[in-house]
Structure 1
Amino acid sequence: MPIADAAVLRWTNQSDPNAAAPGDADRLHSLNLDQRVVSVVSFEGEWSRIRFGAEEFRVRKDCLMPIGSVAFEVGDSVNAAGRSCTIRDAIWHFKDAEPNFYLEAGGKRLSKRFKVDDLDPV
């Protein structure tokens, strides 16, 4: 499903834990989500509520680089190269200024990266 408000999450193991809401910093550190394309769900005071697949977090706005809308998000079903797949990861490619999508099909991770033009919604 298209994401109307997408952003690139800038969160590394060196990020200030106070830049995430209480309880979210440890989960962000453990998942290593730096440079991931996330959906911005809402704004709650100083926090931006973001979603990456089934996970939701609250981070400060300065942890995000807005990128506008993107066609797919983690968890979406797509067709790629004649196969039915699920998007397992979305990483921002800074040089190309677009997301790279990583897929799985039949429970197996595909090693190739895909661009939005390679994918068709199911």
Structure 2
Amino acid sequence: MELSKLKNQWIYYPWLINNDLDHLVHHNDLTDSRINGLGVVLCIGQEDNYIKIRANNFELRVKEEGILKLLPKPLFIWNDKIELLKNKNCGTINDIIWHHKDEKYYYFIESNGKQLKKRLNDTEIKKI
């Protein structure tokens, strides 16, 4: 795919540090200790022969060949403030995953300083 067409596209980029795929990440970005793996990411641009992606609170450069799948835009993104419809508790989107079999997003929520054990989908939360 043409790199310029990837801007603002959500993608599934399965990468784990030290998993024989480090060649897919720009060598200067591998030194960021916050990065130990990727999954659902947003393409935000291009730099040289790399695509620039955002995953949660950090950005890095990766090679296009690591893209496994183009994804639809999620209803919620990292750090969105949400309300759980079941009990009206509030929280923040901490992580986003794509469920391949269900073909939908699930969200991990932090509420009252703790990560909820259950992953939630679009129908169980609303943005506040």
Q: With structure 2 as the length reference, what TM-score do the two structures score? A: 0.80
Aligned length: 117
Are the counterparts in 2 of residues 37 and 99 from structure 1 also a CA contact under 8 Å?
no
- Offset at 1:77? 1.1
Question: Corresponding residue for 1:111?
Answer: 117
1:69 aligned residue? 73
Corresponding residue of 2:83: 79
> For 2:23, what is the secondary structure of its paired residue?
helix
Structure 1 runs of 4+ aligned residues shifted over 3 Å read 26-30
- In the alignment, structure 2 segments of 5+ residues that lack a partner are 1-7
Query: What is the RMSD computed on CA atoms of the aligned residues?
Result: 2.0
Largest Rg, 1 or 2: 2
Q: Is the 8 A contact 1:85 1:104 kept in 2?
A: yes
Shift of the alpha carbon at 1:15? Answer: 3.6
Higher relative contact order (CA 8 A, sep 6+): 1
- Sequence identity percentage: 24
Which residue number in structure 1 is paired with residue 106 of structure 2? 100
Identify unmatched segments of 5+ residues in structure 1: none
> Would the alpha carbon gap of residues 45 and 87 (structure 1) be closer, same or farther in structure 2, given more than 3 Å must change?
same
Report the more deviating stretch, 21-30 or 53-62: 21-30
